[in-house]
Amino acid sequence: MEATDSGTGGDLSIFDTGPAARHRPLLATTSTEWGGRISPDGRWMAYISNQSGRWEVYVRPFTGAGAAVQVSRDGGTEVVWAPTGRELFYRQSDAVLVVPVRSTPALAVGKPRRLFSGPYTSVLPGVANYDVAPDASRLLMIRAGPAETTPRALRVILNWPGRVARASR
Q: Check: CB of residue 34 under 8 Å from CB of residue 8.
A: no
The C-alpha atoms of residue 110 and residue 97 are separated, in whole angstroms, by 12
Q: Check: CB of residue 60 under 8 Å from CB of residue 53.
A: no
User: What is the per-residue pLDDT across 125-148, written as a single tens digit (0 to 9) for each?
Assistant: 678 889 999 988 899 998 887 765
Helices (H) and strands (E) in the chain, counts: 1, 14
User: What is the per-residue pLDDT across 45-81, written as a single tens digit (0 to 9) for each?
Assistant: 999 999 899 999 999 998 767 888 999 999 999 999 9
Q: Is the pLDDT of residue 3 over 50?
A: no
Q: Check: CB of residue 57 under 8 Å from CB of residue 48.
A: yes
- Nearest-Å Rg of the Cα atoms of the chain is 18
What is the reported pTM?
A: 0.76
Buried b (16+ CB within 10 A) or exposed e, 34-49: bbbbebeeeebbbbbb
The C-alpha atoms of residue 2 and residue 17 are separated, in whole angstroms, by 16
Identify the structural domains of the chain with CATH numbers, from first to last.
2-167 (2.120.10.30)
